[in-house]
Chain A
Amino acid sequence: MSIVLSAVQYLGYVLIFPGFLFCFLAGLLLCGIDRKMVAKMQKRVGPPVLQPFYDFFKLCGKETIVPAAASSKTVFLMAPLVGLAALVVLQLFIPIFQFTAFSGMADIIVILYLLLIPALATILGGAASGSPYAGVGLSREMVTIISCELPLVLILLAVGKVVGSASGTGLTFSFSAIMAYQAEHGSLILKASMIPAAVAMLMVIPGETGNHPFDAAEAETEICEGLLAEYSGPPLGVYKLSHAIKMLTLTSLFVALFLGGIGSGIEKLVLLCGLSGAAAGAVTVILGAIVLFLLCVVLTVVCISFAHAVTARLKIEQIFKFYWTAVSGLALISLVLAWYGL
């Protein structure tokens, strides 16, 4: 009986919360807010907030065209699905404050590599289409990944060192230790030595999601969306959905790494309301999810919408240079400070 119950519970995690359904709703909503905010910043009216939902469902109703020159139809059609599934699973491992759907299964270094899978799926799908635009797009996408990887590595190593030296093991990569540390010592962003890393992470987010000004890989006006040039109908809709979820994933990763201390505030609030037992747990999780989503919205507006509104697209070699000098420099400052125990 208990096996069935836990199976149902885990299935619920994967399919509903914090898995597929939550990602779908929150991600597309985040995307809509982003578009609206960019429009507001540029003094346009902008689309309705629910526009990404309309777009998605409309694309789902359209025909799928597989180009005759596609080198592999299977890869072309399956790549979007694999990318989406990998992204949803990734979201399951990122803690929502004290709550993690599947704890003790993947650490932050694993997350670094799991983040590559959706990007890789996009690359292989585009490559399989045979389009020369996709060829250019995949080249740029890969360079963008390389660009973001170095700062991201530095940030994660810095976080691992700070949390590890406080817990006595000297080093840790596990999410639960990071959340426990933040519950006890307050959010990592409050630590002076971690502020450069947090700023660097804010700059990495638009690069990882492929938003302005780091969207050389998709550049609609130049290489016709690159990797997506040949995609149409439902596969394209799945890609748009993945892109929206990726915004959610990266912003919630930021929250988990740097703002985890807010979780203890939520717990205190629940205690103040006089709740206890299972009810308190459920309310904490729901409140946590709401707070997480609001924080994701703020972060999206700050690092994606604002950057989108005020910048023009960078060339690919400029993106690389920016990440490996300015952003990596910031992250390196944090890492060195963390190394010397600050």
Chain B
Amino acid sequence: MSTALYQHFPIFAIMALFLGAFLIVLFGNIKPLRHAIALLAVTASLGFLIALVKPVMLNGEIIAYWMGARAPAGGYAIGIALEVDALSLFFGLLIATAVFVSCVYSIQYMRHDDNVSQYYTLFLMLAGGVMGLVLSGDLFNMFIMVEILTFAAVALTAFRNTVNGALEAAFKYLVVGCMGSTCILAGTIMLYAQAHTLNFAQLSAFIPGNMNTATVVAFALLYIGFSTKAFIVPFHPLAADAHGAAPASISVLISGVLTKSGIYGIIRLSYFLFQTMELGTMQFLLVFMGSVSMFVCVTMALAQHDFKRLLAFHSISQIGYVLTAVGLCTAMGISSGLYHAMNHTLFKGLLFLAAGAVLHETGTTDLGKLGGLSKKMPWTTALFLVGAFSISGIPPFNGFASKWMVYQSIYQKAVESGNIGFLFVTIIALVTSVLTLASFVKVSQSVFFGQLPKEYENVKEVPWGMRLAMGLFAVLCIVTGLFPNAVTTYLTQPAAAAVFNVANYINAMMGSGYAESVMGAAAPAAQAVTFVEVGVWQPVSWLLILIIALLAITIVAIAGQYDRVSEKAPAPAPVDGKYDLFFGGEQSVYSQVGGEDLFWGFKHNWRGYFSFMHELHSGIVNDYALWAVVALALTTLYMLIVF
């Protein structure tokens, strides 16, 4: 087996991040060097992964890399292995992109904080942990990476420990996150006891034919473990607390990167390790948890009055879409789910950065206190709107392209399987989307539009470095929305093909013919990942027509002196009140309608539901730990019954 240079790239991509972390510990006191090291590390990591696109995504190679060249001997894989197929690389690219942009943003965002070198160390540890997780080829290394990323994330959540609630949030995260990590460890141990190997490929060949009670319990443990990392219901309250307290650049990583590692873990488990996704009962579990996350979290978000907590709930709601689509076990489902996962990283990153920009300038993210910032921060407003339109699925932004595919795949699955449950999932998905829009209308009105409070008269636009970072995400949001076919062809379809091609995954690691020899004819062979879309959507042509129409209308409007004014508004308040707001003849005063005051008609009809939810989310960590235990018990029970 010849080792081309690029075969070393996965380990380089991980090493660059960890090396950067250690170097910053050594040289972090020198400010320019600190930034240079961090930027270099994340750029190198991104570069190594981009270099892998051609062999892995386009040529369909699977890179199996044995540390120290310890290839399997005697039929057992003992060495530490990395295995990079299109699925791993897809998630790796997402992570590297988000980490890169977040790092660019951090430089100016964190400049007023203390201990910035510790921040970068933890930042790179977190990034390296997630990167290692998705590129790893064995289960135990995945667990180690989960530990690294959990502790880095906990520490970063409480990084601004003077912020009200930061320590509490970190503590909650620590408790439930450790329960999740423990589940993963316990599951790993049980699998090792059964299969005497930790290598992913070998496990994937061995377990499906040898399912017994122990492996099923291990599956349940691992599933719950990765669920806590993805923050899907019932682990969603942690995310809200953590995002609310963490610096915005870390929120980007927690929502865009950390939750992806959970989704990645669930895909690896259910499609590779246990190969149970053909079963309707397993599809039910994923689609059900996905739809519940989608709906519960979007309604929870509607009830929030803090910018970042609202975003946190939306983050999980969107992860619900991903999980639902992935759980369909169709080529289109996985492809659209991954597409949405990618878009989620991009638009959620953008939104968190915008929230960070608001926090950076005003010192608060309370929707009830802000307003009218678009006057002072026009760039942030425009970039926020791109993110808001993307997440609410407004054409032609990327959220629409992927959601539209998700709807199609769910409805197609419903029609193909004849299961009316999927029909209701389609409806939930479509309604969730409009509720998401409502939520972001609320943020626009409460933060960026409406009236500017007196105390924010002197607010300035954020520095260019932060705008640049947001701009990167915004451009990616628009590009991936305008060219959905390119994204599916070059990124998501190869990844979806990898998901359906378990035999190749095993053989690449263990030598060709291994999967067939262990699993017999049952080895899942390559499946075609072609799918027929039931609708049509051509964003570029649509945009072109819209621009033509808009140009025509604007030209007519300008020619007709659209914004004609008889006199310029004088700088001091005009005496006649002509430029004042209309107050029914009363004296015009500051009156902002925003935050909690919006959407009364909706909330009133659902007051029972909202008060129930309010009582349920007590904010006490004991309750959330109890939820985790109950979720584990129920999942174990469910799996023991169905397998």
Contact = CB atoms under 8 A, between A and B. Distances in A.
B598 A142 contact: yes
B438 A172 contact: no
A94 B216 CA distance: 52
Interface stretch (B23-31, B33-41, B132-140, B411-419): B411-419
Contact of B431 (A102, A150, A319): A150
B279 interface: no
B430 A153 contact: yes
A224 B404 CA distance: 37
Contact of A140 (B411, B574, B601): B601
Contacts of A63: 564-566
A141 B411 CA distance: 29
A71 B452 contact: yes
Contacts of B426: 157
A68 B580 contact: yes
B637 interface: no
A107 to B, nearest CB: 3
A128 interface: yes
The SS class assigned to the A binding surface is helix
B601 A102 contact: no
Contacts of B542: 89, 105-106
Contacts of B613: none
A333 interface: no
Contacts of B532: 169
A131 B569 CA distance: 18
Contacts of B378: 72, 74
Contacts of A153: 427, 430-431
A238 B580 CA distance: 22
Interface string B539-574: 001100110111011100100111111100100011
15 contacts: A15-B552, A71-B452, A72-B448, A89-B545, A110-B395, A110-B535, A113-B393, A124-B449, A130-B372, A143-B602, A145-B438, A171-B411, A173-B535, A229-B582, A234-B563
Contact of B593 (A123, A124, A135, A142): A135
Interface in A244-276: none
Contacts of B545: 10, 14, 89, 92, 102
Nearest to A315: B601
Interface string A157-183: 100110011000111111000000000
Interface string B588-630: 1001111001111110110000000000000000000000000
Interface in B437-470: 437-438, 441-442, 444-445, 448-452
Interface in A56-92: 60, 63-69, 71-72, 74-75, 77, 81-82, 84-86, 88-89, 92
B407 interface: yes
B188 interface: no
A336 B604 CA distance: 29
Contacts of B214: none
B598 A317 contact: no
Contact of A154 (B427, B548, B569, B579): B427
Interface of B: 371-375, 378, 381, 385, 393-395, 400, 404, 407-408, 411-412, 415-416, 420, 423, 426-427, 430-431, 434-435, 437-438, 441-442, 444-445, 448-452, 532, 534-538, 541-542, 545-546, 548-550, 552-554, 557, 560-566, 569, 573-574, 578-584, 588, 591-594, 597-602, 604-605
Interface stretch (A26-34, A114-122, A295-303): A114-122
Contact of A75 (B374, B431, B536, B598): B374
Which of B552, B554, B580 has the largest count of A CB atoms less than 10 A from its CB?
B552
Contacts of A208: none
B593 A67 contact: no
A106 B537 contact: yes
Contact of B535 (A65, A139, A172): A172
Contact of B553 (A72, A85, A110): A85
Nearest to A87: B549
A120 B552 contact: no
Contacts of B372: 69, 71, 130
A88 B549 contact: yes
A139 B563 contact: no
State the 10 A-B residue pairs at the shortest beta-carbon distance, nearest first: A135-B593, A107-B535, A316-B601, A173-B535, A127-B449, A85-B550, A71-B372, A143-B601, A68-B579, A85-B549
Contact of A64 (B437, B537, B564, B602): B564
A185 interface: no
B581 A69 contact: yes
Contacts of B580: 67-69
Nearest to A114: B395
Contacts of A64: 562-565
B374 A72 contact: yes
B602 A146 contact: yes
B564 A84 contact: no
Contacts of A150: 427, 431
Interface string A309-336: 0000001110111001000000000011
B593 A65 contact: no
A146 B434 contact: yes
Contact of A142 (B441, B534, B578, B597): B441
Contacts of A143: 438, 599-602
Given A113-B393, A170-B416, A234-B560, 17 more contacts: A10-B545, A11-B548, A14-B549, A72-B381, A72-B449, A84-B553, A105-B537, A105-B542, A107-B536, A127-B449, A130-B451, A139-B599, A142-B441, A142-B442, A224-B584, A324-B605, A339-B423
B377 to A, nearest CB: 10
A76 to B, nearest CB: 9
Contacts of B411: 157, 160, 171
A109 interface: yes
B420 A339 contact: yes
Contacts of B371: 71
B477 to A, nearest CB: 16
A138 B444 CA distance: 11
A72 B535 contact: no
Contacts of B602: 143, 146, 317, 320
Nearest to B451: A130
A146 B552 contact: no
Which of B404, B532, B545, B598 has the largest count of A CB atoms less than 10 A from its CB?
B545
Given A77-B563, A172-B535, A136 B581 contact: no
A117 B543 CA distance: 13
B565 A65 contact: yes
B594 A135 contact: yes
Contacts of B438: 142-143, 145-146
B580 to A, nearest CB: 7
B593 A136 contact: yes
Contacts of A134: 593
A218 interface: no
